[in-house]
Structure 1
Amino acid sequence: MRGMRKWKRWAVFLLLFVVLAVGGSRTAQAEMLDMTKYNNDLITVSKVPHGKAGNKISIKMTVHNIHEKRDQELKEIWLANAEEFDDLMTENFGESDDADESDDSDAIRWYSKSFPFETDSNSFKPKAINVKAGTSKTVSLSYKLRRDLPAGYYQAFFFIGQKGKDKTAVGVNIWVSAYDGSSTEEDDNTKLDYDFSIGDNQQTPYAGYNQVMDFGVNLTNTGLKKVYDVRVDMQLDADITKFPFDINEGNYNRKMGDMESGQMVTVPYSMMVREDVKSGFFPIHYLVTYREEEGGEFSEPVDKVFYVRVKGKDDDELSADAGEQDRTKARIIVDSFETIPAEIYAGQPFELRVRMKNASSDVAASNIMFTFASEEVENTPIFTSESGSTSVVVNNMAPGATADLSMVFKAAPTAEQKSYRMTIQEQYDSPEFKNAKEEVKIALPVKQEPRLNTSTIDVMPDAIEVGSETNVMFGINNTGKVILYNVMARFEADSIQPADAYVGNIKPGETGNVDTMLTAIAPTTDDGKVKIIISYEDENGVVSETEKEMLLNVSEAFSDDGMDGMDGMDNGMDADADAAQAGGAGRIAPMLVIAALVGAGVGVVVWKRKKKKIAGEKALEDELEEELDNELGEPEMTTADVSEDETKDVEKEQNDHLKRKKK
């Protein structure tokens, strides 16, 4: 019974835990509040902005100016700070953020009063929107979410109007998912799914009154996702103080197509600057629209601003005492340059060709003198003119005109391998500016010829047999002024197996050593020269080679194969040779004598066999004796390296033969 009661207690405890867990999970996500009645028809939001705790969130809304009077313009929008946020939440949604039970007893609902953003002083600066009466404009604002926010709906409040004057508060719901630790880079916290930048990597376009300004506006997709059917619409204005161009087209909408994340496109324009325009910088507004999905609905327009600079007639009316900054002068730049040859080597002459251009659109230059001034090292110029003169005169250059300059220089032999400056000093006249002085610079890279030599090449041994190895050693000396990178020595010949030896990098004045083994694979058929190819790289990885030679003779390996023909006689000689070796008598006798005696013995044996076969036939015996004479002849014999018994047998056979011959 006690065990049963104990089990029941545990069951009740577990059931209570599950109920509490389920109830707690239902309070984990705050409810979205109804903000429509609170926004006074000033803003609309097409969809709830989503973001992750710890990351940035983009809040996009359309601002509507419902006023009827033209002078009632909505100029700015800015974020409410934490204190203002608390006041607005209390004013509109009550004091408490505790959980409240709804009519559904199974659900517990609540809303959060937490200020959701990480902010600094810049977070509350107003953003200009300039929405005129009766019009609307889409704006996008980005803020970083607090990392400690639980998942759920939160609220963001803004003021619309003009800071320090009249303002109206509006609010939007935002959805925040909990921080999961997946974002480790700062860039992950700053990039949005859909965003653009304008004017990247370009200078402000410039033109004078009554001139055509041909310019492009660089538009970059800085969002994380691809966008489709991008359109850019330049915003026109009849007010000459706000828009400096003549309006000749019905609209200036440009279709740029699809854009991948990170892609940049240039939006082209050609505009005539108004005649009565005032000099200055003008902000030009562009509305960018796109589709988030192919074939989907267009997004709300994103307003981007790009500046242009124009010159008006007011700049032409200069006073007599106008300063240098108030007077206009030509701007002469280097349009292009080249050298012949293309690579400049220390100690070698080269021709420098420079094309200068008057980059001014409406200011001419005259009486122009160009002077080339070389960079100096220890008070010595790197480039010296072979003619002695370093100046060139050009009579005049109209706006946009070019002039080609040419001069021959020589680079100092001791110059280190690197780029050196050549300054082109300019002195010229313009209509409003006499004796204007400017200078431009170009960089000329100078290279040093790589140089090397080798020490004595040691080959030990210098004559080997096939299958044997020899050791090769020598040093590679860097006698130039540049580092030799990845130095290698390669050995090639028909008589050896190809081999490589890696040396590494060799600094100027230092030596790299080669120590390697070569294996012979075939006898030498030529003069025995082995080719040594030394290769190295420069700082750009370009490979160069130089060749050296060494001598190595390879011969056939020694073999006992030539003695195989003696195998038939080995059996008859083994016993006699052993006996002679045991007696010590034949150690200094030549082997040739033994071979002769053995041949004689073989002849005697043959003769005996023939004699038995022709016994009783005298005529045939004489014939055989004559044949035997031809075989034996009169050999000189010695008993060296022959046993005593064998010698006696041979002598007896010879004596018997001589007796028969006398008979």
Structure 2
Amino acid sequence: MTLILLLLAGVFPLVSASPQVSVIVADYKVSPAVLLPGEEGTLTVTLKSITSGTTTSSVSYGQDVSQTTTSITPYIDSVILKSKDFEVLGGDSKFEGNIGPDQPVPVTFLIRAPQKSGMYFPEVWIRVRDGQSLKYPVPVNVNTQLSVLRTPSLALENTFPEPVKPGTKVEGTIRIMNEGSTQADNIRVFVNGTPPVAIPAGISSFMIDRLGSGMYREKNLSLLIDKNTQSGIIEVPVRMSYALLDGTIIEDSGSIGLDVRGESEISITSVETTPSRVKPGEPFDLIIRVQNTGTGEAKSVSATVNLPIKGAKEAFIGRIKAGNDAPATFVLEGTEAGEYAYHTTITYVDDWGTHTLEKDLVLTVADGGDSSAMIILILLILGAGAGGFWYMRRKNEDD
């Protein structure tokens, strides 16, 4: 029995390319549990990702650079069962692809037992592209009185939406499953939020009296995502404890993975011209200041105006981070005096897609001539009239 447990604990790396990308064998099952010599059966291993972190890719649009953040997920090249004693009838290299976070992937092999009774340890070889591959021995009982230690094994799955927005409350369900071979009792589940990034809204812990082998229990859960959370993968830790039949308390852990993506929100804060007073026939700059009041970066921001005036009617702004603003400048030629109603369209891209803001505005071109000299002349006339009135009044008083 000691030899069996030692072998069960052994996981031997084949290739170590990057410690950030790896998988584990979370569980295994042989059916039937005890094979007869020459009998056919199945061996199933459940793979899970233990990868955490993100990777960022950049794409250039002229002078603008768009960045996309995605979670790192292991890519399985092959899953092979190696044994000099068992005949593998099917299942070798049948699985290839990515394993996402909190995604258990069962891989099943059809096997034929050897003719001699005994305990055997065929090895499952898992090759991970650009990551740490592994070799895992699985005990298989062929017609012996020995048995492998039977224990519970809790697993966690969730149905939270992906992606989610900062500053929102998300609703989802977590499922606690017993994938082991015996019952687990007095199960306590604690959702340990990571303030202020993500915290439970309401219930954060609950208890399950018991879970038999193959059984599961679901609980609804709400999480609050802080509005200042940066885009990327965040993990909400979940701690689980349960009791064995002899009263021993076992602790296990899992996590709820959330793909947070900020949403930009564009608005116009001001419209001005240079010079501030536009005169007929003189060129000028129209400046529309654009602000991002959202939670994510706005990329590829551009603006257009449909003014009936010659000049540059398109302006490329580029990127505007959350909380910042930037000007859209249009260099225009002179035109006649009057009021010009025009339509401006601002387009931008964020992690949720392409958006458009449209606004109707008015440009005023003042009448020709400089009215400042006329104002000064009027003031002089009024001053001279007041002075004459004061002089005549004093003269009458003296007489």
* d(CA) in 1 for partners of 2:294, 2:211: 46
Q: Secondary structure at the match of 1:338?
A: coil
1:194-343 equivalences under 5 Å are 206-208=28-30, 209-210=33-34, 212-215=41-44, 243=85, 252=89, 269-271=109-111, 278-279=118-119, 281-282=121-122, 309-312=138-141, 316=147, 328-339=150-161, 342-343=162-163
Q: Deviations over 1:93-112 (max 9, x none)?
A: xxxxxxxxxxxxxxxxxxxx
Flag structure 2 segments of 5+ consecutive residues without an equivalent: 1-21, 36-40, 46-80, 94-106, 126-134, 366-399
How many angstroms apart in 1 are the aligned matches of 2:304 and 2:221? 44
2:271 counterpart (445, 453, 457)? 457
Q: Given that residues 89 and 110 in structure 2 are in contact (C-alpha distance below 8 angstroms), is that contact kept between their aligned partners in structure 1? A: no
Residue in structure 1 matched with residue 286 of structure 2 by the alignment: 472
What does residue range 14-163 of structure 1 map to in structure 2 within 5 Å? none
Q: Report how many residues are paired.
A: 277
Q: Partner letter of residue 341 of structure 2? A: K
Deviation, structure 1 residue 533 = 1.8
The normalised TM-score by structure 1 is 0.35
C-alpha distance 420-281 of structure 1, shift in aligned 2 (>3 A): same
AA partner of residue 354 (structure 2):
V
- The corresponding residue for 2:236 is 422
For 2:296 and 2:91, the matched residues in 1 are separated by 54
For residue 363 of structure 1, what is the aligned residue in structure 2? 182
Out of 161, 171, 175, the position equivalent to 1:351 is 171
Q: What is the alpha-carbon distance in structure 1 between the residues aligned to residue 340 and residue 186 of structure 2?
A: 72
Whether the aligned pair in 2 keeps the contact of 1:210 and 1:274 (CA below 8 Å) is no
2:346 equivalent in structure 1: 534
Q: Give the letter aligned to residue 349 of structure 1.
A: K
Aligned to 1:551: 362
CA offset at residue 411 of structure 1? Answer: 2.0
CA distance in 2, matches of 1:494, 1:487: 23
The structure whose residues are more often strand, as a share, is 2
| Distance verdict in 2 for CA 1:519–1:276, change over 3 Å | farther
Partner letter of residue 281 of structure 1? Answer: F
Q: 1:455 to 1:334 in 2, by over 3 A?
A: same
Alignment match, 2:297: 483
Question: Which residue identity is paired with 1:529?
Answer: A
Counterpart code for 1:399:
S
Does the 8 Å CA contact 2:233/2:258 hold for their aligned counterparts?
yes
- Alpha-carbon spacing, 1:400–1:521, altered in 2? closer, same or farther (3 Å): farther
Return the index of the structure with the highest Cα Rg: 1
Structure-2 separation of matches of 1:502 and 1:215: 56
Give CA deviations for 1:3-55 in whole Å, capped at 9, x if unaligned: xxxxxxxxxxxxxxxxxxxxxxxxxxxxxxxxxxxxxxxxxxxxxxxxxxxxx
Q: Offset of 1:372 from its aligned partner?
A: 0.6
Q: Which amino acid aligns with 1:477?
A: Q
Aligned counterpart in structure 1 of residue 193 of structure 2, from 374, 377, 381: 374
One-letter amino acid of the structure 1 residue matched with residue 190 of structure 2: T
Please tell me whether the aligned partners of residues 173 and 221 of structure 2 are also in contact (alpha carbons under 8 angstroms).
Answer: yes
Name the CA shift for 1:235/1:490 in 2 (closer, same or farther; >3 Å): closer
Cα deviation for residue 311 of structure 1 reads 4.8
Report if aligned partners of 1:504, 1:512 keep a CA contact under 8 Å in 2: no
Letter of the aligned partner of 2:168 in structure 1?
A: Q
User: Which residue is equivalent to 1:225?
Assistant: none
1:271 is aligned with what amino acid?
A: I
| Cα shift readout 1:106-162 (whole Å, capped 9, x = no counterpart) | xxxxxxxxxxxxxxxxxxxxxxxxxxxxxxxxxxxxxxxxxxxxxxxxxxxxxxxxx
The answer to whether the 8 Å contact 1:470/1:519 transfers is yes
How far apart, CA to CA, are the structure 1 residues paired with 2:43 and 2:233?
Answer: 36
State the distance in 2 between where 1:504 and 1:440 align: 40
Structure 1 counterpart SS, 2:256? strand
Whether the aligned pair in 2 keeps the contact of 1:425 and 1:438 (CA below 8 Å) is: yes
CA distance in 2 between partners of 1:489 and 1:509 (Å):
19
Identity %: 14
User: Does structure 2 conserve the Cα–Cα contact (< 8 Å) formed by 1:497 and 1:520?
Assistant: no
SS in 1 for 2:248: strand
**What is the one-letter code of the residue matched to 2:342?**
V
Unpaired segments of 5 or more residues in structure 1? 1-199, 217-233, 237-241, 246-250, 257-266, 286-305, 318-326, 555-663
* Higher share of residues assigned helix: 1
Please point out which of 480, 496, 505 is paired with 2:319. Answer: 505
Q: For the Cα contact (< 8 Å) 1:204–1:307, is it kept in 2?
A: no
User: CA 1:397 to 1:515, structure 2 compared with 1: closer, same or farther past 3 Å?
Assistant: same
Q: CA deviation at 1:252?
A: 4.1
Counterpart-to-counterpart distance in 2, 1:338 and 1:427: 22
State the distance in 1 between where 2:82 and 2:324 align. Answer: 69
2:320 maps to amino acid: I
Distance 1:284 1:474 in 2: 63
Q: CA RMSD in A?
A: 4.6
Q: Distance in 2 between matches of 1:495 and 1:273?
A: 86
* Distance in 1 separating the partners of 2:341 and 2:247: 75
Counterpart of 1:207, as a letter, is K
TM-score by length of 2: 0.54
Aligned-partner residue type, residue 172 of structure 2:
L
Q: CA deviation at 1:438?
A: 0.3
Q: Is the 8 A contact 1:279 1:309 kept in 2?
A: no
Question: Aligned-pair distance for 1:271?
Answer: 3.4
Superposition deviation, residue 501 in structure 1: 0.3
The answer to whether the 8 Å contact 1:382/1:411 transfers is yes
1:10 is aligned to none
Would the alpha carbon gap of residues 548 and 354 (structure 1) be closer, same or farther in structure 2, given more than 3 Å must change? same
- Tell me, what secondary structure is at the counterpart of 1:400? coil
The one-letter amino acid of 2:155's match is: I
Q: Do the aligned residues in 2 keep the contact of 1:483 with 1:508 (CA within 8 Å)?
A: yes
Superimposed CA distance per residue, residues 282-340 of structure 1 (whole angstroms, 9 cap, x where no aligned partner): 3699xxxxxxxxxxxxxxxxxxxx975125477648xxxxxxxxx6432222244223x
Rounded to whole Å, the distance in 1 between the matches of 2:124 and 2:324 is: 63
Cα distance, 1:414 vs. partner? Answer: 3.5
